[in-house]
Amino acid sequence: MRETKLRAPFETSSVLVMILAGGEGRRLGPLTSDRAKPAVPFGGRYRIIDIVLSNFVNSGLHKIKILTQYKSASLDEHIARAWRLSPMLDNFIETIPAQQRTGKSWFKGSADAVYQTQHVITDESPTHVCIFGGDHVYKMDMRQMLDEHLERNAEVTVAAIPVPRKEAREFGVIEADANGRIIAFHEKVADPPPMPGHPDLALASMGNYIFNTGNLLDALEQDAKNEQSAHDFGRDIIPYLVKNGKRAFVYDFQTNRVPGEDEGSNAYWRDIGTIDAYWAAQMDLISVQPAFNLYNQRWPIRTAMSHDPPAKFVFRDEWNARVGIATESLVSLGCIISGGRIHRSVLSNRCRVNSFSHVEESVLFENVVIGRHAKIRRAIIDKDVEVPSGAEIGYNLEEDRKRWYVSEGGIVVIPKRAKIG
């Protein structure tokens, strides 16, 4: 394991973080029907937003504003209850809803969201502003990206991850020279430009940026005046800065080293924008050696505290196949596995799996009850759902499609508080 040398030549108090968390997340189907994408549960006891917030807090950056818009009630509640930092030290994590401060319109894009809330920037007067998305799964020591931003005397730095060029067609791709200076930004093109020195790879933008404050505010002002703009950082702000000769650089995410992580884990980054990608990321967590490790005490994923009791497993009647057991799974606090079998699954708090039932390769949100003799396979079941005795989900996709959302990859999604007859 490689030890990481941590440096902070900048003052953390001069850095403001703005998290973009207002997206609708349509491709997550029923999971975002009444909650914002960053509020979707992940890994049993977390929310997606907890991942990026943990990265910043673990990096010592504690001035954080979260920009919300779409169905943000559960996200706002989670932030208020789980993420309270010390005001004595001028630390804060606060949500900012869309307020129509610059006109009679809601956020029209990622750049417009920051433009409409620029009063936060001017009030805090930071030297640098980090603008990051709130809905990806990865670990990153933000100090290392800030170090590189300062060392290069950059005016904007964009985080990117090397991906095979064939896969890069689905991303915004950064074209850079051998020194990492950005030449152009390409949005989902058929022939992505290669990464310098690696002809088979391309630099996919992660949608994470560090700006010098003055450059950011100037670019946002010009973008707001452009009626042809999509008001998006990747499509509009970064190309504008590059075109005008600003010092724009790319930061290779794979060079980032997180304390306590194995050497090979620095490549893990998942865009969980679809049901299949979301389900796959959950299955990644239960691997014998998961690339995204929840058990690194030097870089914890933080979230709300819970007063639920420990998980309980009861009954060992092997003769009648009534055994409470879970294998290759995450089982959260408050769960009772009462004579049922769990395999390769993720269970959130207070789930109950009753006798003779089988749950396999599935994700259960809070307060899900699985009845006796029920069989669940490759499913995501949202909170407060009671699956009746003898029910089968995931075994006949044609029948499942008549009632529920089924992804392209065959994952069945049962929405919150659904009634299963």
What sign has the CA pseudo-torsion 203, 207, 213, 216?
A: positive
Q: Could you tell me if residue 269 is inside a domain?
A: yes
* Residue 151 and residue 215 in one domain: yes
Task: Summarize pLDDT for 162-219 with one digit per residue, the tens.
Answer: 999 988 888 889 999 999 999 998 888 889 999 998 999 999 999 999 999 999 999 9
Q: Could you tell me if residue 382 is inside a domain?
A: yes
* Residue 243 and residue 357 in one domain: no
Name the helix (H) or strand (E) containing 144: helix 142-151
* Residue 209 and residue 320 in one domain: no
Tell me the C-alpha distance between 190 and 323, whole Å: 53
- For residue 177, give the CATH number of its domain: 3.90.550.10
Q: Annotation-wise, does 205 bind a ligand?
A: yes
Task: Summarize pLDDT for 365-402 with one digit per residue, the tens.
Answer: 999 999 999 999 999 999 999 999 999 999 999 999 99
* Residue 33 and residue 101 in one domain: yes
Alpha-helical (H) ranges within 256-365 are 275-285
Nearest to 36 by CA among 118, 164, 117, 134: 134
* Residue 189 and residue 235 in one domain: yes
Tell me the C-alpha distance between 179 and 150, whole Å: 15
Q: Could you tell me if residue 4 is inside a domain?
A: no
pLDDT of residue 102: 61
Give, in degrees to the nearest 5, the angle at Cα 236 between 230 and 238. 155
pLDDT of residue 106: 65
Give the global pTM: 0.92
List the structure tokens of 317: 């009647």
- For residue 384, give the CATH number of its domain: 2.160.10.10
Tell me the C-alpha distance between 176 and 242, whole Å: 11
Q: Annotation-wise, does 188 bind a ligand?
A: yes
Q: What is the CA radius of gyration of the chain?
A: 23
Task: Summarize pLDDT for 320-369 with one digit per residue, the tens.
Answer: 989 999 999 999 999 999 999 999 999 999 999 999 999 999 999 999 99
Task: Summarize pLDDT for 258-303 with one digit per residue, the tens.
Answer: 999 887 667 889 989 899 999 999 999 999 989 899 999 999 999 9
Q: Could you tell me if residue 291 is inside a domain?
A: no
Q: Flag whether pLDDT at 2 surpasses 80.
A: no
Name the band, by pLDDT with cuts 50, 70 and 90, for residue 3.
Answer: very low
* Residue 48 and residue 152 in one domain: yes
Q: Annotation-wise, does 187 bind a ligand?
A: yes
Q: Could you tell me if residue 307 is inside a domain?
A: no
> What is the SS3 assignment for 404?
coil
Question: Which domain range does residue 392 map to?
Answer: 312-414
* Residue 230 and residue 268 in one domain: yes
Q: Annotation-wise, does 103 bind a ligand?
A: no
* Residue 153 and residue 253 in one domain: yes
173 neighbors 162 (Cβ within 8 angstroms): no
* Residue 111 and residue 73 in one domain: yes
* Residue 24 and residue 143 in one domain: yes
Name the helix (H) or strand (E) containing 49: helix 49-58
Task: Summarize pLDDT for 127-161 with one digit per residue, the tens.
Answer: 999 999 998 999 999 999 999 999 999 999 999 99
327 has which bridge partners?
Answer: 343
> What is the SS3 assignment for 345?
coil
Distances 36 to 41, 115, 237, 257 between C-alpha atoms, Å: 11, 21, 25, 30
What sign has the CA pseudo-torsion 257, 262, 264, 269?
A: negative
Q: Could you tell me if residue 20 is inside a domain?
A: yes
Count how many domains the chain has.
2
Tell me the C-alpha distance between 107 and 99, whole Å: 9
Residues with Cβ within 8 Å of 166's Cβ and at least 6 positions away in sequence, in order, are: none
> What is the SS3 assignment for 195?
strand
* Residue 87 and residue 220 in one domain: yes
238 neighbors 181 (Cβ within 8 angstroms): no
User: Average pLDDT for residues 54-76, to the nearest whole number?
Assistant: 93
Q: Could you tell me if residue 239 is inside a domain?
A: yes
* Residue 242 and residue 316 in one domain: no
User: Average pLDDT for residues 217-237, to the nearest whole number?
Assistant: 92
